[in-house]
């Protein structure tokens, strides 16, 4: 017999539900979901992870790391920039990208750590 993964009796903690609902109203859930959608793409995650390893990389470096053309690398970097996950600066004819801030770096590092832990335990 398999264990049921749902409640067998319907009841809820009204105060807890109210606190969480109030908290949700104060959040940009759509923005949060969009951020994860952008990072859900394997290539964009490679780009973000690369920028965790190096503080700054030019588009040419990123293209070589992910094994793509400059146009493809630029497309992924622009997509990440639209959601304020990366920022860029121009130096002459080169465009250098870096993570927007420490929060993004922590998010990528946490995802990496969690993924490695799951691999270690075989999940």
- Tell me, yes or no, whether 81 lies in a domain: yes
- Tell me, yes or no, whether 50 lies in a domain: yes
105: CATH: 1.10.10.10
pLDDT tens string 47-74: 999 999 999 999 999 999 999 999 999 9
- Tell me, yes or no, whether 37 lies in a domain: yes
pTM: 0.84
Rounded mean pLDDT, 27-45: 93
- Tell me, yes or no, whether 48 lies in a domain: yes
| Separation between Cα atoms, residue 35 and residue 86, nearest integer Å | 11
- Tell me, yes or no, whether 95 lies in a domain: yes
- Tell me, yes or no, whether 19 lies in a domain: no
- Tell me, yes or no, whether 107 lies in a domain: yes
How many structural domains compose the chain?
1
Which residues 6+ apart lie within 8 Å of 55 measured at CB?
98
pLDDT tens string 103-117: 999 999 999 999 999
């Amino acid at each position: 017999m398999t264990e049921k993964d749902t409640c067998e009796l319907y009841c809820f903690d009204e105060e807890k539900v109210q606190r969480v609902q109030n908290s949700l109203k104060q959040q940009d859930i759509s923005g949060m979901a969009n951020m994860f959608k952008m990072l859900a793409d394997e290539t964009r995650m490679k780009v973000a992870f690369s920028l965790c390893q190096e503080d700054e990389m030019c588009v040419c470096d990123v293209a070589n790391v992910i094994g793509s053309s400059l146009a493809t690398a630029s497309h992924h970097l622009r997509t990440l920039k639209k959601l304020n996950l990366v920022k860029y600066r121009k130096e002459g004819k080169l465009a250098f990208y870096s993570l927007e801030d420490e929060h993004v770096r922590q998010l990528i590092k946490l995802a990496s750590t969690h993924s490695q832990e799951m691999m270690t335990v075989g999940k």
